[in-house]
Amino acid sequence: MDLPGKSPDLPQARGDLTAALIAYLRGHGSLPGLGCVTSCDPYGDDLQLAMYVCYELHYRGFAEVDPRSEWDPEILTVRAGLEDHFLDALRSGVTHSDDVEGALAHILVEPIHGSGVSHFLQEDGELWHLREYAMQRSLYHLKETDPHAWVLPRLHGRAKAGMAAVEFDEYGGGRAERIHAQLFADLMAGLGLNSTYGHYLDEGSAEMLALVNLMSLCGLHRRLRGALVGHFAAVEVTSSPASRRLAQAMKRTQAGTAAEFFYTEHVEADAVHEQVVRHEVIGGLLADEPQLAADVVFGIRATEHVEERLGDRFLNAWQTGATSLHKSLPVSHSSA
């Protein structure tokens, strides 16, 4: 059970970079230099966990860490190096364009014979697959839409109004029990998982961390507001059909009403959100700032890129009967 205002514990280190950062946050030693940052795999566990820890200081922080660390200039310097290294990798991994309609059209059409994670879970997923999926996705869904809220002060006019309307729905329309993060906590409880915020950080893969880090990176930088809008559009456009398949997976495996409801809620809500984001948020932003078109496309394509990497992580593991988690848990494949 999550306790309001409770901060999670610091995670276990995954390399020299995170070991130094975590020690520093505990009041020991010094932070790593830029050379340590740039020598890391930009998609690897060490760098992605370091970024996630730096960003988490702006969300709920950590139980053992002084809240003033959020604005520690030395941590911010290291974070900037991490961000630059990750952004360079993202920009080299996607095709650049200012054709927003073309980028949206690409993700609006699903292939006839789908083979992604939601297809696998719908057709062949077992409860242990669904539990692993929920553990990993909890790193985002237990703070669902919080990273996107950072962009609101960076927008105005139609874009701000449209974004605020979607966010209002994500936050339950004024009803605490309908906040989407709470609905996901209910899903986790129904699957027999711990729904405490940040509980499964040590189990989260580098690919899942990268997905959440992309949101925080774009949300926390005004210069990346176009990319954040593009990212949000990609999420909303692809959510409804995937959520329908995941709801069917939950129903087929008898995962429980709460697990099924989380996804049926997204089928309806995100179908509406897609239209608002495309026509009001993107439309309003580009009407006022047409020079941000390439950034919007980058946000869409970077989201596709990191989602594909995460999908490969899940499927490559599950199709061989292995775990997708970074840190394997003693969970029976037959457990409910």
Q: What is the token pair recorded at 43? A: 């998609």
pTM above 0.85, yes or no: yes
pLDDT at 336: 33
Instruction: Say which residues have a Cβ less than 8 Å from residue 293's Cβ, sequence separation at least 6.
Output: 98, 99, 100, 226, 286
pLDDT at 274: 86
Q: What is the pLDDT of residues 242-299, one digit of tens each?
A: 999 999 999 999 999 999 999 998 887 767 888 899 999 999 999 999 999 999 999 9
pLDDT at 266: 86
- Mean pLDDT, consecutive 10-residue stretches, the chain (336 aa), reads 75 96 95 90 98 98 96 97 98 96 89 82 96 98 96 97 95 94 96 97 98 98 98 91 94 94 85 88 97 98 97 97 82 40
Look at the alpha carbons of 285, 99, 301, 236 in this order and tell me if their dihedral is positive or negative.
positive
First CA to last CA distance, the chain: 18
Q: What is the token pair recorded at 22? A: 């975590």
Distance CA 123, CA 248 (A): 9
What per-residue string of b and e applies to 3-17 under the rule 16 or more CB within 10 Å gives b? eeeebbebbebbbeb
Distance CA 227, CA 219 (A): 9
pLDDT at 5: 66
